[in-house]
Structure 1
Amino acid sequence: MLVHLSIRQFALVEHLELEFRRGMAVITGETGAGKSILLDALGLTLGDRVDAGMVRRGADKAEVCASFASNVQARRWLDAHDIPDEDDLILLRRVVSAEGRSRGYINGRAASANDLRELSQCLIEVHSQHAHQRLLQKDTPRQIIDAYGNLRKQADTVAEYWTSWNHLARKLRSLQETSAELLAQRQLLGYQVEELRQLAIGATELDDLETEHKRLANAESMLLSGQQALAASAGDEGRDAGAVRMVWKAIQQLDKIDDQHPRLDEARDLMQQAHILLEEAGSSLRGYLEQVDINPHRLQQVEERLGEIFSMARKHQIQPQRLFDHWQEQEAALAAMSLSDEDLDAMRQQEVELHDRFMEAATALSAARSEAAARLDRDVCGHFESMALGKARFFTELQTLDSQQASRHGIDQIQFMVQTNPGMPAGPLAKVASGGELSRISLAVQVVTAATSEVTCLIFDEVDVGIGGGTAERVGRLMRSLGERGQVMCVTHQPQVAAQAHQHFMVSKISGDEQTHTRICELNERQRTEEIARMLGGVDITHNTLVHAREMLALVKQG
C-alpha cells in the first residue's frame, strides 16, 4: 500500500507532500490541469524512464519519494538483495538532475532503475492505456492463472522437475556430441599418465637426488680437502706441525712468564679456548671423513635417475620441480574423463525418467490451468455488462508445447484473447482492445483475481474512457469494492466514479506572472461536493448540480 508521496521540483510541481490511506482514492481536475503529473511522479520511483524535462524550470534537480507498506513478496525481494526492511516500510526515491541523469535508492541504498522496476512489481500494479502495463506482459497470463487456480505449488514442482531434467539432458547431449573428441583426448591422456606412473617420481625425490648427486660427484675432492684441513689443525702422526700442537706449545711458553699482567692473563685464556676449539674441530672433521663415501656405482645410478626425470619434464613441457604435482593433476583429469559406456547408458536412462516425470507433472498442471482459465474467463466476462463491454468476449488461449519447446514454466503458452464485437475476429489483448477497453478489462481481471494477488496497491488511469452514466457508476462501485480489500488509485473524469472514493484529490493549475504551478490537495467533504458538482455541470456550479452531487455522495455512504 502506498503510504506517502513526496514530490519536489518535478514538472510544474514545486513541493507536495501527500498522505494516502486504504481504500479507493480518486484524482480529478479540469482538462489540462495536469492530473497525470502525480502518476508520472510516482512512476519515476517505480523505475520509469527519465528525461531532463521532468525537472522544474530553474531547479537543479527533481526528487520524488514514495513510501510503501511492505508485504511478503517485497520482503522476499529485499532479503534476496540484502536490503533491510525498516519498520515494515519501503522507501523508493529517485533524483533526476537538470541534465537528465538519475539516481535511485531503496531504503537509502543506491539502486538501479531495473531494481526499482523489479521491486515495484511486488508493491503496485499500474493499469493504464500504456503498452507497458502488466496485463500485456508475456508472463502475466500464466502468473494470473496460476494464482487464480491456486497452482503455484504445483508450478514450483514442475519447475524443479524441468531444471533437473534439462540439466542432465544438456550434460548428456554435450557428452554425446563430443564423444569422439573426448575419446581421443582420453587416449592421449591415458598414455601420458601411464608414462608418469612408470616414472613414479616421489614428492621430494628430485630434491633428495640432487643433494645426493652433489655429494657423490664431489666426494674425492671433499675427502682430500677434509684430510688437508685435519692435518693442518691436528698435524700428521709423528709430527708436531698441527695447529693444536702449536697452540699447546704457545700456552706452555706463556705459563713460563712470571707476570700477573691482565693482558697476559687474557692472552692465556684465549689460547686455551682456541686449543679446545681446535681439538673439537678435529674430532668433527674425523667424523665427517669417516662417512664420506666414494661410490661410483651409486653416482651412476643417481645420474641415470635424474636423466629420466629431466627427460620426462621436457616431454611434458614443465619444470622438473612440478613433475610430481603434474602427475597427480593428470591422474585426476583422467579420472574425470573416464566415463564408460555403462555410465552413459545409465545417464540416458536417468534422463528418460526425469523427462517422463516432468511431462507427467507438466501435463497435470496444464489440465489444472485449463480448468482455472475457464473459470477466470467466465468470471471476467461476468463483469463486462456493467462496464459497457457487454458484446465483448474475453477468453484464455492455452497452446500446448512439445517437450523440446517446454520451459521451467511447463508446456503451456498462455495469452489473453478478446473479441470486442460480434463478427470481428478475436485476437491478443494488446492488439485488439482499445485503450479504454483495455483499462476496463484490466479492472475486471483485477476484481476477479484480487483475492489471490499479493499486490495490494492498484492504479487505474482513465478507466472511464468511453463510458458514462450508469456504466460509470457500476465501474466506480467495482473499484470501491476492490479498494476495500487494499488500495486503489484512479484518475477519472466521471463524477459517478469519483463519488465512490474514500479519498479524493484534486489537481489544479495556478498561473503566476513568471511561472505556472500545479497543486494537488486532498478535498474535505464540502470541497468534494463542489468538485463533483463541477464534474457534473461544467464551469458553473449550480444549485441543482450541488444537490445532485450531495445525493450521489449520500447514496455511496448508504451502500
Structure 2
Amino acid sequence: MLTALSIANIVLIERLDLDFEAGLGVLTGETGAGKSILLDALGLALGMRADTGLVRQGADKAQVTASFAAPAPGTPLAALLADNDISLEAGEPLLIRRTLKADGGSRAFLNDQPCSAALLREVGGHLVEIHGQHDDRGLLAPAGHRALLDAYARADTGAVAAAHGAWRAAEERLAAARAALDEAERDREWLEHCVAELQALAPQPGEEAELAEARASMQKGERIAGDLATILEAFDGSEGGPALLRGAARRLDRLAGDHPLLAEALANLDRAIIDADEAEAKLNEAARAMEYDPERLEAAETRLFELRALARKHGVQPDELPQLAGDLAARLDAIEGGSAGLAKLEAAVRDTAAAYTHAATALSNQRTKAAARLDAAVAGELAPLKLDAARFQTLVEPLPAERWGPDGMDRVEFLISTNPGAPFAPLARIASGGELSRFILALKVALAEEGGADTIIFDEIDRGVGGAVASAIGERLARLAGAGKQLLAVTHSPQVAAKGAAHFVIAKSSEGTVTRTGVRALDDAGRREEIARMLSGTEVTEEARAQAERLLEVVG
C-alpha cells in the first residue's frame, strides 16, 4: 500500500508531499490542473521511462520518493527483494527513490540501495496497478490474463511447472545420451585402438615417478660403482678395518683394568667398532640400491619412455593415463550398452510427459470451470454500468504441443463483444474509451479478491459517463476498496468523488511567469465545495452546494 509520495521539480510541481491511507482516495481538479503530472511522477518512481521533459524548467534534476508498506514475508515481492539483496528492517516501509537529471540520466534506489530501472519496474508491478483508457498493460495485456484466471480459480500451477521441468530435464538427458552415443559410435575404431594400447601398457598411478627415481639411482650407481667397491674392500676380511679394530679391542680388554685411561680407550674403541659396523651396513645397502644392471636400467628406461610417449599422444600427464584408460573403456562400453541405456531414458521421457499432460489437463479443466464463473461475475457487473448489450468471454483454448510450457497447455485471453451479434474481440480493440474503462472496472471488481497489487489507480475511468453510470462506477470503486485494496481514482465525476474516503484536489497557480501545480487534502467543508464546483462548473451555486451535500449524505 502506498503510504506517502514526495515529488520535487516534476514539470509544474515544485515541491509536494502527500500522505495516503487505505480505502478509496479521489483526486479531482479542473482540466489542465496537472492530474496527469501526479501519475507521471508516480510512474517514474515505479520504473517507467525516464523522460527529461519531466524535469521542471530551470531545475537541475527531479526526484520522486514513494513509500510503501513493507511486503508480508513469503510474498512474491518479499522474495524478489531478498533475491536482489534489498534488505528490509522489521516494521520499516519500502522506500523507492528515483532521480532524473535535466541533461539526461537517471538513478533508482530501493531502501537507499542502488538498483536498475528494470528491477524497479518489476517491483513496481507488485506494488501498483494503473488502469486508464489508453493503458496497454494490466488487464489489457493478454500476456497477464492466464495468471489472473489462475488466481481467480485458485489454481496450484506449481505442480504443472514441476512436471514440465521434469519432462524437459528427461528430454535433455535423452538428447545428451544420444549425442554421446553417436559421437562414440563415430570414434569406435579409434577407441578400440586406444583402449587396447592402454590396456597393453597397463600404466599404474605413480609409476612414472618410481621409474624415474630408479633410473636416476642406477645411473648414479654406474658412476660411483668403482669407488664404492674400493671403500667396501677396506671393511672386508681379516685385514679390514673392522676386523683390526675388534682385535685391538680384545687385547685392550685384557689391559683395561690396569689404568683408568685404558678403560676409557676401550669404551671409545667399542663405539668406533659399532660406528664402523653401521657404516659398513649402509654402504652395502647403498651399493645394492644403486647396483648397476644394464638390462634392468634399459628396461626401466624403456618403460619410462613408453609411458611418457603415450601421455604426450593423449595430451595428459603420465599419472593421468590410468584414469584415461578407464574413461575410454567406459565410452567403448557405452557403445555396447547404449541401446539399453537409451531405452531407459526414452521410458523416462514418456513417463514424465504423461505426468505433465495429466497435471496440465487437470489445470485446463480447472481454468475452463473458473472461466465460466468469471464470465458470469463480470456479466453481473455490466448492466449497472450501462453495458447491457455487451458480453464478456474468457477464452481458454489449447496450445499446439510445441508451445506447451510450465504454465500449462492453454492460451487465455479476455474477449468482449459490445453489440448484439458482434464477434468477440480482445479488450484493447474496443473503439469507445468509456466502454473500455467500464469493462476494466467490471473485470477488476470481479477479480477483486484474487490477488494483484494492493494499490490500484484508475485514471479518469469515468470519462464520458455521468448520472447513474457514474454512481455505479463510484459504488464499484468503493466496493473494490472495501475488499482490502487501496484505490486512487482520478475523476471528473462528482458521483465518484463523493464515494471517496479521502479527497485530494489538484490546482494550478501562477505568480508572474512562474506556474505551479499543487495538491492538498480536503476536509469535509472543502470536499463539499469541490464537489459543488464539479457539479456547477465555473461558478459554484448554492444549489450545487446543496446537491453536493446530498451526495455526501447518501455516501455517509
Give the structure-1-normalised TM-score. 0.86
Q: CA separation of 1:332/1:175 partners in 2, compared to 1, >3 Å: closer, same or farther?
A: closer
Of 87, 104, 107, the residue aligned with 1:103 is 107
Indicate the residue corresponding to 2:85 in structure 1. Answer: 82
Distance 2:464 2:111 in 1: 41
Secondary structure of 1:206's aligned partner: helix
Whole-Å separation in 2 of the counterparts to 1:332 and 1:92: 58
Change (3 A) 1:433 1:362: farther
Q: Partner of 1:316 in structure 2?
A: 314
Paired residues of 1:73 and 1:454 also in contact (CA < 8 A) = no
How far is 1:162 from its partner? 1.4
Distance in structure 2 (CA, Å) of the matches to 1:350 and 1:294: 64
Who is 2:460 aligned against? 462
Say whether 1:506 aligns with 2:505: yes
Question: What's the counterpart of residue 272 of structure 1?
Answer: none
- Note if contact 1:388-1:467 (Cα within 8 Å) is conserved in structure 2: no
Residue identity matched to 1:64: V
* Mapped contact 1:436–1:462 kept (Cα < 8 A): no
Residue 99 of structure 1: SS of its match in structure 2? coil
C-alpha displacement of 1:116: 1.3
Matched position secondary structure for 2:440: helix
Say how many residue pairs are matched: 523
Q: Report the alpha carbon displacement of residue 132 of structure 1 after superposing the two structures with TM.
A: 3.3
Distance 1:535 1:313 in 2: 91
The 2-side partners of 1:83 and 1:449 are apart by 30
Deviation string 1:401-440 (CA, Å, 9 cap, x unpaired) is 2433311111111111111222433211112354332222
- Alpha carbons of 1:182 and 1:498: their partners in 2 closer, same or farther (altered >3 Å)? farther
1:11 aligns to 2:29 (yes or no): no
For the residue of structure 2 that corresponds to 1:493, the secondary structure is: coil
* Cα separation, partners in 2 of 1:433 and 1:400, compared to 1, 3 Å: farther
1:116-160 deviation line (CA, Å, top 9, x unaligned): 111122222111123432112233211111111111x2x221121
CA 175–208 in structure 1, closer or farther in 2 if over 3 Å, else same: closer
Query: More displaced, 307-316 or 279-288?
Result: 279-288
> Is the contact made by 1:147 and 1:452 (CA closer than 8 Å) also made in structure 2?
yes
Secondary structure (helix, strand or coil) at the match of 1:520 reads strand
Whole-Å separation in 2 of the counterparts to 1:239 and 1:191: 60
Q: CA deviation at 1:19?
A: 0.5
Describe the shift of the 1:336–1:509 C-alpha distance in structure 2 as closer, same or farther (beyond 3 A).
farther
When structure 1 is superposed on structure 2, of 46-55 and 395-404 the one drifting more is 395-404
Partners of 2:158 and 2:92 in 1: CA distance: 27
Match of 2:395 among 397, 421, 426: 397
- Report the Cα distance in structure 2 between the residues aligned to 1:174 and 1:324, rounded to whole angstroms: 26
1:113 match: 117
Query: Among residues 138, 141, 145, which one is paired with 2:145 in the alignment?
Result: 141
Structure 1 CA distance, aligned partners of 2:180 and 2:237? 79
Change in Cα spacing, 1:28 to 1:180, as seen in structure 2 (3 Å) is same
Give distance in 2, aligned partners of 1:11 and 1:329: 70
Q: State the alpha-carbon separation in 1 of the partners of residues 393 and 40 from structure 2.
A: 32
1:324-343 to 2 correspondence within 5 Å?
Answer: 324=322, 326-327=324-325, 330=328, 340-343=338-341
Shift of the 179–431 alpha-carbon distance from structure 1 to 2, 3 Å rule, reads farther
Shift of 1:180: 3.1
Find out whether 1:202 has 2:200 as its counterpart.
no
* Counterpart selection for 2:301 from 278, 300, 303: 303
Superposition pairs of residues 113-512 of structure 1, within 5 angstroms: 113-151=117-155, 153=156, 155-176=157-178, 179-185=181-187, 188-189=190-191, 191-227=193-229, 285=283, 288-289=286-287, 291-320=289-318, 322-324=320-322, 326-327=324-325, 330=328, 340-485=338-483, 486-512=485-511
Secondary structure of 2:197's partner? helix
Once structures 1 and 2 are overlaid, which stretch shifts more, 371-380 or 433-442?
433-442
Shift of 1:537: 0.8
Residue 230 of structure 1 deviates from its aligned partner by 7.8
**Could you list the per-position Cα deviations for residues 2-27 of structure 1 after superposition, in whole angstroms to 9, with x for gaps in the alignment?**
11111111121111110001110111
1:84-126 Cα shifts (integer Å, max 9, x gaps): 2222521111111122211111122211111111112222211
**Within 1, Cα distance between the matches of 2:442 and 2:336?**
61
Matched letter for residue 142 of structure 1: R
Deviation at 1:540, TM superposition (A): 0.6
Q: CA deviation at 1:528?
A: 1.2
The code of the aligned residue for 1:128 comes to G
* Offset of residue 499 of structure 1: 0.8
- Counterpart CA distance in 2 for 1:335 and 1:68 is 63
In 1, distance between residues paired with 2:62 and 2:145? 36
Structure 1 residues not aligned, in runs of 5+: 241-274
For residues 453-508 of structure 1, the C-alpha deviation after alignment (integer angstroms, 9 at most, x for no partner) is: 24221111111122111100110011011112221101111111111100111111
SS of residue matched to 1:49: coil
Deviation, structure 1 residue 323: 3.5
Amino acid at match of 2:36: S
The 2-side partners of 1:332 and 1:432 are apart by: 65
CA distance in structure 1 between the partners assigned to 2:67 and 2:337 by the alignment: 58
Give the 3-state SS of the residue equivalent to 2:553 in structure 1.
Answer: helix
CA distance in 2, matches of 1:200, 1:133: 69
SS of the residue 2:540 aligns to: coil
Alignment check: 8 A CA contact 2:221 2:287 kept: no
How far apart, CA to CA, are the structure 1 residues paired with 2:189 and 2:201?
Answer: 19
Q: Output the amino acid matched with 1:210.
A: A
Alpha carbons 2:205, 2:319 under 8 Å: kept: no
CA contact (8 A) 1:426 1:432 kept: no
Mapped partners of 1:287, 1:133: distance in 2: 90
Q: Tell me by how many angstroms 1:280 deviates.
A: 9.9
> Cα 1:199–1:538, aligned 2, differ >3 Å: closer, same or farther?
same
TM-score scaled by structure 2?
A: 0.86
Query: Judging changes above 3 Å, is the alpha-carbon distance between structure 1 residues 306 and 359 closer, same or farther for their aligned structure 2 residues?
Result: same
Change (3 A) 1:185 1:437: farther
2:63 aligned partner: 63
Cα distance in 1 for residues equivalent to 2:226 and 2:177: 67
Q: 1:93 to 1:360 in 2, by over 3 A?
A: same
Aligned-residue offset at 1:286 = 6.2
1:498-526 residue CA offsets vs partner (Å, 9 max, x unmatched): 11100111111111223211101111111
CA drift of 1:202 comes to 1.9
Task: Return the letter of the residue paired with 1:416.
Answer: F
Shift, 1:549, TM fit: 0.8
Closer, same or farther in 2 for the Cα pair 1:234/1:516, shift >3 Å? Answer: farther
Counterpart contact for 2:205–2:322, Cα < 8 Å: yes
Alpha-carbon distance in structure 1 between the residues aligned to 2:24 and 2:449: 16
The match for 1:243 is none
> Which residue does 2:32 correspond to in 1?
32
- Farther off after superposition, 52-61 or 84-93: 84-93
Counterparts of 1:349 and 1:164 in 2: how far apart (Å)?
13
2:200 counterpart letter in structure 1: Q
1:339 CA displacement: 5.5
Distance in 2, matches of 1:218 and 1:173, equals 58
1:41 aligns with 2:28: no
Distance (whole Å) between structure 1 residues aligned to residue 442 and residue 498 of structure 2: 20
Quick one: structure 1 residues 34 and 305, their matched pair in 2 at CA, closer, same or farther if it must change by over 3 Å?
same
Q: Give the structure 2 partner of residue 527 of structure 1.
A: 526
Distance 1:375 1:288, change over 3 A: closer
Given that 2:478 and 2:499 are in contact with CA atoms closer than 8 Å, whether structure 1 keeps it comes out as yes
- Post-superposition offset of 1:80: 2.9
